[in-house]
Amino acid sequence: MQYRGTYIQVDLNAIARNTALLRRSIGETPHMMAVVKANAYGHGLVPVAMTALENGADWLGVAIPEEGETLRQAGIQAPILVLGGVNEKGAAASVRFGLTQTIFDPERVYMLEAEAARQSKSVSVHIKCDTGMGRIGVRNAEELDAVLSAIASCSHVCLTGAFTHFADADGAGNNYSMAQMKMFEAMQKRLPSGILLHAAASAAAVRYPQARLHMVRQGIILYGCPPIEDCPPVVPALSWHTEIVYVKSIRRGDCVSYGCTFTAQRDMRIATLPVGYGDGYHRALTGKAMVIIAGRRCPVIGRICMDQIMVDVTDVPSADAAVGSPVVLLGKQGTEQITAEELASWAGTISYEMLLAATARVPIHYITCQADRA
């Protein structure tokens, strides 16, 4: 049951339109993966996955087997790639739920073989090639050959793909990315033919068409946050809303919130909102953030509390800044808009983290897809 007026809103029409637009932008040859890890970047794992599959995606990408299990339990049958490594329990789940598992060492190959044999199933795997990201992946021909040899010795493990990930696709230059691409091309010569090769995520799919290969992994751009300039005109799908619960007048010299870090320089009207860092509205936004009330930007004042924030509404007409008046923390109201990128800049982080910021006590309200998505 929800009583408070603080919630996330996700417009699945925007997800549908973005997916269809991105599908058109990469052409018909490559497959398109919708990356829905981390609860679809805070947008809701199952609703986003279903919407993306209905509008042009044909693969799904998750970080951990638990996410793939949730998708399978929701009835989704599309191919799902687990992008991270797994332990024995994770390997068992990947086999059980028919997930394609990322591998990068012989140990994980043998782990998957043992689980697949125990369950009398086969398991599909993609080799991760570390060409410069420095996380997981085979780093050279010797390591790649060791993994290929392990696969060849296993009767239940089927190699169906290989991929890499760019570390600086959204950076100013392209030398590092091109060096990564050349290294991946060299590794491809040691791979069997007929497998699915992929390298480009959101930014690289735009900047480096030659890196699209057999599949493009669409992540942050799917949610309406362009990682670089000159992206297809995607639109944000997520917005964050609350309401005013109290309005008071304070005098010049009065202090607001913990630590008395804010002192009024004039007589003011202050609105209190029922949201705080306990909801994921980061304390780092203190002294920098703005919200939108009645189509106007209003500064957040004083330190952000666990459950409440205070906002200067002195310049908003009293009738428009009253108890119950709607407030936008992230998103658009009238002609004003606060983007995830702007919110992130105030908090000293990136848009990805701001999309994921809302905690479990903030419910998600969905705008469901309409038939007309043109």
pTM of structure = 0.95
Q: Would you say residue 372 has pLDDT above 90?
A: no
Distance of alpha carbon 124 from alpha carbon 208, whole angstroms = 28
What is the number of alpha carbons within 13 Å of residue 319 lying toward its C-beta? 0
Q: pLDDT tens for residues 8-32?
A: 999 999 999 999 999 999 987 889 9
- In the prediction, which pLDDT does 244 show? 98
Measured CA angle at 64 (ends 55, 232), to 5 deg? 35
Share of the chain above pLDDT 70, in %: 99
Contact 238, 56 (CB under 8 A): no
Please give the mean pLDDT across all residues of the chain: 96
Q: pLDDT tens for residues 114-147?
A: 999 999 999 999 999 999 999 999 999 999 999 9
CA distances (Å), 239 to each of 7, 11, 38, 281, 292, in order?
Answer: 9, 8, 17, 13, 12
The pLDDT of 287-292, averaged and rounded, is 97
Distance of alpha carbon 231 from alpha carbon 222, whole angstroms = 11
- With H, G, I as helix, E, B as strand and everything else as coil, classify residue 223: helix
Q: Would you say residue 300 has pLDDT above 90?
A: yes
Catalytic residues: 37, 258
Residue 268: which of 310, 327, 308 has the closest Cα? Answer: 310
DSSP 284-314: GGTTT-EEEETTEEEEEES---SS-EEEE-T
Q: pLDDT tens for residues 334-359?
A: 999 999 999 999 999 999 999 999 99
- In the prediction, which pLDDT does 371 show? 52
* Torsion angle, alpha carbons of 337, 338, 339, 340, to 10: -160
The pLDDT of 292-313, averaged and rounded, is 98
* Residues facing residue 262 across a β-bridge: 256
- With H, G, I as helix, E, B as strand and everything else as coil, classify residue 138: strand
| Cα 114 → chain centroid | 33
Contact 72, 97 (CB under 8 A): yes
Q: Would you say residue 374 has pLDDT above 80?
A: no
